[in-house]
Amino acid sequence: MSRVDARTRAVVACIAGRLITGSAGWAIHDKDRKRRIPLDGWIDGGNIRIYRHARHGYISGMGADGHYVLFDHPSDRGLTLEVNAEERMFSGADQQTSYHFFGDVAERAIRLYDYQDMRWHLYTL
């Protein structure tokens, strides 16, 4: 697969949303696909491990000071994630394809713009 799929994009939005809001919830609502996505795992300091039940796989990573490197284990691809909690914004890239994304968080609502499909994607924690 040469692109970030909708499920991976939703988990990245969840990670960014949790890092910015400090929310402890373990699901994200994908408004594009009109479905709730249950997740498990932890975000503890700079360590991240999120398990996706639907894919039977996880995204893990580490970082500090708003800079994170993530690895999507089912697809064997690396992702970067930059988070600015003060401005409630995030950005990043798929290291395999160099596609970039950015977004913002307002309370529990997350908007993510993916340059790959040139669309906004909406989520709720």
Structure tokens at 31: 């408004």
Q: Cα–chain-centroid distance for residue 54?
A: 16
Per-residue pLDDT tens over the stretch 16-39: 999 999 988 889 999 999 999 999
Helix or strand holding residue 14 (H, E): helix 6-21
pLDDT for 86 equals: 97
111 confidence band (pLDDT: 50, 70, 90): very high
pLDDT for 96 equals: 85
Per-residue pLDDT tens over the stretch 39-65: 999 999 899 999 988 778 899 999 999
